[in-house]
Structure 1
């Protein structure tokens, strides 16, 4: 027998588990839905007496109430915020726990408060300013749940119940750091990802391949993953399917990630797909110039990396083979290739990244070796949202905007982004500015949808867009798809950009 201990997320009570719990018990499993103090359980007169430790104690009490018996395993399931008290409790009762299930949740780390997982960056900043104070975070209104995660698939009646039973979240539960000793680090884990929010097993695997340190722990044989085609509340939208996934997880089922080959560099650090001239860089601050062997001021192409990228990533993006490859290719064609590091470490950092790009352009255009009246910007991946500023008010010296496998609308899984950075909203003001979009056929669906949204808006306003399709290529194909088709796409993109700079 399995004893499932189900821990809800922010603002929610045990009622959210009702249908899933009924399915599990019908199959003979034992189910305990935890009523967290202040949100589902007893509510003290003062919310400032409730913190993360209070909720960890709530989960510990349920673990301790489950009798030990041969063959019985305890599976802790944490949804959303609920993974924080789950991990805290597992750390103190590791010998009692058979598996931990992360249900569409973040990846809490020792010493980090749950505040870090709040999806809205503006709200994170507001709450951080209230550190040391007490009080509550009001529960969402019926139309406000989307701020906390996708509500796709949740029936209207279920959303009504969710809203009616919601309670404020005690602030100290979000502000108190999680403390872990590592005692539960070797326990079996399962991640259940909800695709409507933009998360997927493929995305996690790409993060592993990229070398993201926090994800490497999920490549062990004791870790499995499942996906559900729904939003952030699967217990309300797909209760039967969730119950089946939880039972399969308890049995050790699910997809296992592939650990990176220690003999191979991560995908983004593999060689560029073209042979390009070995042109040295000239570094000034966060900007690198690759200068052509040509007389007189030359046009420039500024290559803008994607993200978010961890501030600790080494080498930094401007030294990644794809970016240096493009810059050297451009310099070999007689124009100045430019790369930069910008501060897109989090989705809240797009304004900072935009400032860094502005500073690079000011530096580049002031250089006497650069024709400051002939500049092109070429964006990659998540850097695509930065296009919005240049679409909205294109200066006369900007001769072309290019983007490869771009993200052209905010992805829900990454959290809210400043409304300023929405290229589809800005493109009607682009006028005759030439646009070159490289679109890959094996793109992640959630990213492909943002490209289609942008192209639809472009067609509606008559924008000058050239689309270069690479049907068999993946996101960031320049170091992983070393095919004639991919090489041809890079050549075609560069030719298009250089043609616009020659005008």
Structure 2
């Protein structure tokens, strides 16, 4: 049996992992799907000062109060870029392996929003200002994005109904890392690019943590949210981890 802690990306709560979590539990694993502050069933706790540090503490508290060890810590998108590495950096004794779902770890001192090009950063900041009261990022147009892939209608309906605005300070807070987390083995699950492309990206300073012999990769061609489009295949890869 393996213990998995699943952390979702922007706009989503622990509910997003339901199909994957059910599959893993049916295989005999222990699964904790985390809902970060201000999202999912904790949407009522959203406020302007909910930042990256709050979300890192959310996950650390799950590890502490559930007394979890030898954890496979899984981060999707934003959670993999900054939350999961920061958690592992602060509590490496509780983590056995890190899994990054269609994402990769950003360097110390980098904010998640810096992943985007300057023009896109400016457009997103304007969206937050105009449609998010200056501190929330609205969810994307899910129906439009889902047209790009074969997508289950019930899953799409859940995305539209349950996703909520992301507290924007979570994207603008730089991640703080000491480097302790880098000793852990890592699996990258690639949905929008190949292993060859991922290893080539490691030459760029922003993606330098994608290099090294502690990495293994699994390709899962689909859109950026495989827990909705290919949940069984995602669970199979995690089971193998």
Shorter-chain TM-score bucket reads 0.7 to 0.9
Pick the aligned partner of 2:159 from 158, 162, 165. 162
**Equivalent residue number for residue 94 of structure 1:** 92
Tell me how far apart the structure 1 counterparts of residues 237 and 46 of structure 2 sit (CA, whole Å): 38
Task: Determine whether 1:117 maps to 2:115.
Answer: yes
Q: Would the alpha carbon gap of residues 200 and 47 (structure 1) be closer, same or farther in structure 2, given more than 3 Å must change?
A: same
Q: Provide the C-alpha distance between the structure 1 equivalents of 2:209 and 2:138, rounded to a whole number of angstroms.
A: 35
Query: Displacement of 1:156 after TM fit?
Result: 2.4
TM-align CA RMSD: 2.5
State which structure, 1 or 2, has the greater radius of gyration over its C-alpha atoms: 1
Q: 1 or 2 for the larger relative contact order (CA 8 Å, sep ≥6)?
A: 2
3-state DSSP of counterpart to 2:218: strand
* Partners of 2:60 and 2:87 within 8 A in 1: yes
* Matched pairs, number: 236
Whether the 8 Å CA contact 1:153–1:230 is kept in 2: the answer is: no
- Mapped contact 1:193–1:225 kept (Cα < 8 A): yes
The Cα shift of 1:143 comes to 3.0
Distance in 2, Cα, partners of 1:188 & 1:127:
33
Alignment correspondent of 1:107: 105
Task: Please give the residue correspondences for 1:13-412 in structure 2 after superposition, counting only pairs within 5 Å.
Answer: 13-44=13-44, 47-67=47-67, 73-83=70-80, 84-118=82-116, 122-127=119-124, 134-145=134-145, 152-194=149-191, 197=192, 199-207=193-201, 211-213=203-205, 217-249=209-241
Change (3 A) 1:116 1:216: closer
Alpha carbons of structure 1 residues 65 and 45: separation in structure 2 relative to 1, 3 Å: closer
Change (3 A) 1:128 1:237: closer
> Is the Cα contact below 8 Å between 2:46 and 2:167 reproduced in 1?
no
Deviation at 1:103, TM superposition (A): 0.3
Distance 1:46 1:247 in 2: 33
Deviations along 1:126-174, whole A, 9 cap, x unmatched? 345789x95211122333546xxx9524322211211110100011111
Greater strand content: 1
User: Residues 81 and 214 of structure 1: is their aligned pair in 2 closer, same or farther, counting only changes over 3 Å?
Assistant: closer
CA drift of 1:37 comes to: 0.5
What is the CA deviation profile of residues 416-459 of structure 1, one whole-angstrom value per residue up to 9, with x for unaligned ones?
Answer: xxxxxxxxxxxxxxxxxxxxxxxxxxxxxxxxxxxxxxxxxxxx
Q: Cα distance 1:220–1:123, how it changes in 2: closer, same or farther (>3 A)? A: closer
Q: CA deviation at 1:189?
A: 0.6
CA deviation vs aligned residue, 1:161-213 (integer Å, no higher than 9, x gap): 1111010001111111111111111111110001xx3x1112123445xx445
DSSP 3-state at the match of 2:42: coil
> Does the 8 A contact of 2:195 with 2:217 survive in 1?
yes
* TM-score w.r.t. length of structure 2: 0.87
SS of the residue corresponding to residue 185 of structure 1 reads: helix
- Report the Cα offset of residue 108 of structure 1: 1.3
The answer as to whether partners of 2:108 and 2:176 remain within 8 angstroms in 1 is: yes
CA contact (8 A) 2:38 2:50 kept: yes
Alpha-carbon deviations, 1:318-365, whole Å to 9, x = none?
xxxxxxxxxxxxxxxxxxxxxxxxxxxxxxxxxxxxxxxxxxxxxxxx
Q: TM-score, normalised by structure 1?
A: 0.44
For 2:180, what is the secondary structure of its paired residue? coil
Cα distance between partner residues in 1 of 2:47 and 2:110: 21
